[in-house]
């Protein structure tokens, strides 16, 4: 394995760490932003909608951009600008300007998200074995760090603005340094025809899975703080721990996810994860105990963590160039983030936040059902080239089983 490829792998992991830190800092201080603006949960849902809409718009546009420019070039521009846009959210003085700044932040973050997953897919395919869950573990580390820093900031009386400004100023130079580690996509810059061509059906099925998984992750990121504080009755400092606790569960799951995928196959692992997600959310929503609710966040993280990385990894291997397919799957996933805050906010206004979050149980079942619909022969196997080739007489009978892994 070349030194450049190893450096690129570590660079992608650290990019996920940085993205998790930047996004997690924003989400973990949402209760403080709600108080700063003096708005209702439904109005806060509009701010989150602007963020999700910005991400979705850029993701839909990224199919062509990624096919022409490749993930490395896009990341070198978008990652520093994403950190700068977090600064804009921090200093926005009014509700309308916060909505506009959140939309801008979402646009740059959506660009970074597609590009870093495409870069990860390039590295993964070059290695020839599953790596995407390990890369997404970097996101968990960054998000957990954001939660810890947020809790410390709350304890010290640090304002929402000061917290975000500090993280943004540290993230800008880090993003520039990471830009030196990226490698060209395997087929980047050859043609934009792949971006215009309709994706294989499996990409859209993976998009449905990503939609459900992203909505679950977004529901925890956006609403767990308010749920723990206002519904369960936890102090704000304890409520802020809910998100890093959730990310801790995700981190454990993602550190083992690549090995589990290699052993059981992506299809079976996604199906089981959906059922486990539904069960974990049912536990959290049925309790009135702060301890049980916070512990339940760990279980949700353990259950849902491997789903979105596997969906994006499979999408990246479904076509010749990973960028456009990941952009399509990612856009469908971020549609979940786009609809989630609005739907949960509206249901909360009509009923309660506890009742609104029961939507996540149905999302867990949606992941399971869609995973069972995935065609086995369309699921690629990383590392296949390193295995002993089957004997000629056995190749036609064993191939579907090997592809299903």
Per-residue 3-state assignment (H helix, E strand, C coil) for 284-336: HHCCCCHHHHHHHHHHHHHHHCCHHHHHHHHHHCCCCCHHHHHHHHHHHHHHH
Q: Are 139 and 150 in contact (CB under 8 A)?
A: no
Q: Are residues 178 and 250 in the same domain?
A: no
Is residue 32 a part of any domain in this protein?
yes
Q: Are 61 and 196 in contact (CB under 8 A)?
A: no
Please report, for the domain that includes residue 256, its CATH number: 1.20.1250.20
pLDDT above 70 coverage of the chain, percent: 89
Give me the mean pLDDT over the 336-353 stretch.
Answer: 81
Q: Does residue 166 carry a pLDDT above 70?
A: yes
Q: Is the dihedral of CA 325, 73, 16, 34 positive or negative?
A: negative
Q: Are residues 223 and 108 in the same domain?
A: no
For 15-38, the pLDDT digits (tens) are 999 999 999 898 888 888 888 888
Q: Are residues 160 and 250 in the same domain?
A: no
Taking CA atoms, 347 is separated from 341, 355, 360, in Å, by 10, 8, 13
Is residue 232 a part of any domain in this protein?
yes
Q: Are residues 168 and 209 in the same domain?
A: no
Residue 263 DSSP one-character state: H
* Domain span holding position 295: 200-376
Give me the mean pLDDT over the 392-398 stretch.
Answer: 38
Q: Are residues 130 and 261 in the same domain?
A: no
Taking CA atoms, 227 is separated from 33, 241, 335, 353, 383, in Å, by 15, 12, 23, 7, 43
More confident residue, 385 or 171: 171
Q: Are residues 100 and 221 in the same domain?
A: no
For 177-216, the pLDDT digits (tens) are 999 999 888 654 444 444 456 778 889 999 999 999 989 9
CA distance 22 to 189: 29
- In this structure, the number of other CB atoms found within 10 A of the CB of residue 350 comes to 10
Domain count, the chain: 2
Is residue 13 a part of any domain in this protein?
yes
Is residue 386 a part of any domain in this protein?
no
Q: Which of 149, 183, 217 is the last residue of a domain?
A: 183
């Amino acid at each position: 394995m070349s030194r450049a490829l190893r450096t690129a792998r570590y660079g992608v992991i650290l990019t996920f760490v940085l993205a998790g830190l930047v996004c997690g800092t924003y989400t973990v201080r949402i209760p403080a932003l709600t108080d700063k603006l003096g708005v209702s949960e439904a109005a806060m849902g509009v701010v989150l909608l602007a963020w999700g809409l910005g991400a979705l718009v850029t993701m839909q546009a990224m199919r062509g951009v990624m096919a022409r420019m490749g993930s490395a070039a896009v990341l070198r521009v978008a990652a520093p600008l994403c950190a700068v846009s977090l600064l804009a959210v921090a200093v926005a003085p009014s509700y309308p300007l916060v909505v506009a700044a959140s939309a801008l932040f979402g646009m740059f973050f959506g660009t970074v998200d597609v590009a870093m997953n495409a870069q990860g897919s390039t590295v993964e395919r070059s290695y020839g074995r599953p790596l995407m869950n390990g890369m997404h573990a970097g996101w968990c580390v960054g998000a957990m760090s954001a939660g810890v820093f947020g809790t410390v900031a709350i304890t010290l009386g640090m304002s929402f603005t000061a917290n975000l400004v500090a993280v943004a100023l540290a993230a800008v130079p880090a993003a520039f340094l990471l830009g030196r580690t990226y490698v060209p996509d395997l087929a980047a810059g050859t043609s934009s025809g792949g971006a215009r061509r309709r994706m294989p059906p499996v990409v859209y099925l993976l998009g449905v899975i990503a939609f459900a998984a992203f909505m679950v992750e977004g529901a925890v990121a956006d609403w767990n703080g308010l749920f723990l504080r206002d519904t369960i009755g936890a102090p704000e400092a304890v409520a802020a721990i809910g998100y890093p606790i959730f990310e801790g569960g995700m981190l454990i799951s993602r550190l083992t996810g690549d090995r589990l995928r290699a052993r059981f196959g992506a299809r079976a692992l996604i199906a089981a994860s959906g059922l486990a997600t539904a069960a974990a959310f049912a536990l959290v929503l049925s309790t009135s105990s702060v301890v049980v609710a916070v512990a339940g966040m760990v279980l949700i993280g353990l259950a849902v963590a491997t789903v979105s990385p596997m969906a994006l990894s499979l999408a990246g291997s479904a076509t010749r160039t990973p960028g456009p397919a990941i952009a399509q799957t990612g856009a469908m996933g971020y549609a979940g983030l786009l609809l989630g805050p609005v739907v949960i906010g509206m249901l909360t206004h009509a009923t309660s936040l506890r009742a609104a979050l029961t939507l996540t149980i149905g999302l867990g079942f949606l992941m399971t059902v869609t995973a069972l619909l995935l065609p086995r022969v369309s699921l690629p196997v990383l590392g296949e080239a390193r295995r002993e080739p089957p004997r000629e007489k056995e190749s036609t009978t064993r191939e579907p089983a090997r592809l299903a892994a």
